[in-house]
Each structure stands twice: as structure tokens, then as C-alpha cells.
Amino acid sequence: MSGFVSFVGSGPGDPELLTLKAVDRLKRADAVLFDDLSSGLILSHARSGADLIGVGKRAGRPSPKQNHVSRLLVEYAQTGQRIVRLKSGDSGLFGRLEEELVAVREAGIAYEIIPGVPSAIAAAAAAGIPLTRRLTSRRVQFVTGHDASGLLPDDIDLNALADPTASTVIFMGKRTFPKLAAELIARGLPPTTPAILAEAVSTPEQALYRMTIAELADRLSAEIGTAPALILYGPLADGD
């Protein structure tokens, strides 16, 4: 007997940013495997009596291995239940979705993918800025700030990231941004390029800090804090 898995993007944290389809799947689920940033009030939409299983991974904290999460997802679905795999933002953006899709496909389990509001979009909205700007920023690029070892990826396209006409959003990049900023400045990106550090976007703890990339590198060299964050820089970040 095989169940059904709904991969649900929960958005950046504000339960009012859940889609109607996401809420429907939560209300119908027998079990919800959720990430840390998809917990709190978002889980209040889950059906009473549903199993709620935290499987979130956070940098610098003890976290379940991805193969364990994938195996757990398959085992729950193989009991014939309806499962929601709840991921923050949109699950297709640096959400380890592919590994879990492979696992359920190989197990012959049916599934669907329900998109969520990406945290990058929510951060730009919170800052009151567009991600694209007519004449000055016609390209947007999303990049992860670290690889599986927690270091700046060695195959990252630094020339693309140093493009002063591109709007850039870095996910999970607080630890590695000082090194990245030095590389970008060495490739010609002005140290005065506007930047935004967006922490805990769309939650009551939300905080937005506007500065230059050089100032942000100095700040993060001294203290990175524990709040989940995005870094935005380029033409989008000056708010004009």
C-alpha cells in the first residue's frame, strides 16, 4: 500500500502567506514532516491528530542527515497515508527537494509539488524594493552562500556575481559573505554597492539592515547571529 506525498512550500514564515492549496493539504494530511522555518503558527493549519515530525536542518546546529529525512518520508508514505513535506519558502529553491523527489520516485510513491512564496521575493517586498529595475537591473540571480561543508562553493561564478547590473540574492550566506565580498570587490564590484541583510523575513522578529557590501562584510566578520537571513545586493538594494 502506498500513500501520497505533497511537497508544500510554506513561504517565508508568515502563515498568511501560505497558499490556499498549501492550507488544504495541511488540513488533510495524516503526517507533516516540517522544516524549522515552517513551524510555529503555520502548523496550526495541520489536521488535529496528524503526526508532526520536525526534520529541519540549520547551519551550525545538530540536524538530521538528508538520507534519514528521505527515508523517513518514504516510510511514512508506504503506510498508505497522505503526507505533507513542508519546506520553507519555495521548496525548489535551495530546499533539497531533488533528493526527496528521487527517493519517492524510486519507491513508486505518487506526489505533487505545491509552490510557495520564495523568501527572496518576501524580502524584497519587506524592503519596499523591486527585484528588477528598468534600465539598471534586468537580471536576477539567486545563489547559495555555502556548499555541503559550509564553505563558499569553489565552483561559484564570481564574475557573474560581480556584475554591477544584476540583482543578487544570497541564501544561507552570512558565514561566507566576508570572503565572497572580498572576491567580488577584487573583480571590480564597487565596495559601495548597496546591500540589505534581511533577517527572519515576514516573522515578528524581522529585521532589515541597509548598508554597502563592504560594511556588511565587516559586520558579518564580527558577528553573524542566529537569525535566518538573506543577503541582497546590487541595483535593487538602494531603494531609489
Q: How far apart are CA 131 and CA 139, in angstroms?
A: 9
Domains of the chain: total: 2
pTM listed for this prediction: 0.90
Query: Of 35, 87, 90, 163, which residue is the catalytic one?
Result: 35
Please say which residue of 114, 132, 150 terminates a domain.
114
> Do residue 124 and residue 35 come from a single domain?
no
Q: 17 and 80, same structural domain?
A: yes
Q: Are residues 127 and 218 in the same domain?
A: yes
Give residue for cell 563592504.
214
pLDDT digits (tens, 9 = 90+) for 24-71: 999 999 999 999 889 889 999 999 999 999 997 655 555 678 889 999
**What value does the mean pLDDT take over residues 91-100?**
92
Same domain for 149 and 228: yes
> Which of 114, 135, 153 is the last residue in one of the domains?
114
1-34 pLDDT, tens digit each? 679 999 999 999 999 999 999 999 999 999 999 9
Q: What is the dihedral of CA 97, 29, 109, 21, to 10 degrees?
A: -60
In tens, the pLDDT along 122-166 reads: 999 999 999 998 888 889 999 999 887 788 898 999 999 999 999
Q: Is 36 a catalytic residue?
A: no
| Residue of 24, 36, 57, 238 marked active site | 57
Give bridge partners of residue 82 from the DSSP assignment. Answer: 4
**Domain with 228 in it:** 119-238
The reply to whether 35 belongs to the active site is: yes
The CATH number of the domain where 94 resides is what?
3.40.1010.10
Q: Which of 93, 114, 135 is the last residue of a domain?
A: 114
